[in-house]
Amino acid sequence: MPAPPLLTRKTPKPVDEKLTLNISCVDLGQIDLLVQEGFYANRSDLIRMAIRNQLATHADVVRQVVTRKSIVLGIQHYSVADLERAREAGERLQIRVLGLAVIAPEVTPELALAAIESVTVLGALHASPAVKTALVGRLL
């Protein structure tokens, strides 16, 4: 019987990430007009919808790249136990996530360096400042 996957824990939905963007006054005026006319609840609602529409348009490309590059799609959590298991097995993790990668706050920089070979995150990486600093040379 094959061993269970190293990481199978479900995590709660994280708080949304903030994004800042520059937009022309004309585009902003058109957005405000659509909000004023009741098409959208607010500016953020329109921008989220536009992003979702573009992501849906390119969904096949995203799926193909995720498969080709062996990327985890969604939220991936790495606990102390996960990293200790990898270290004890003589393995070094190549973390590849499209979404959110979470390295538990209890993970020490020493454990992260011993267990993690590289980190590629398209989205957000949540880890303690000390772990992020320790891994800076391994962030791709």
- Looking up tokens 């969604």 gives 74
Range from 48-57, 59-68, 129-138 carrying the lowest mean pLDDT: 59-68
Q: What is the pLDDT of residues 59-72, one digit of tens each?
A: 999 888 888 778 88
What pLDDT was estimated at residue 10? 56
How much is the pTM?
Answer: 0.68
pLDDT at 35 over 90: yes
Distance CA 55, CA 62 (A): 8
Amino acid at 117: E
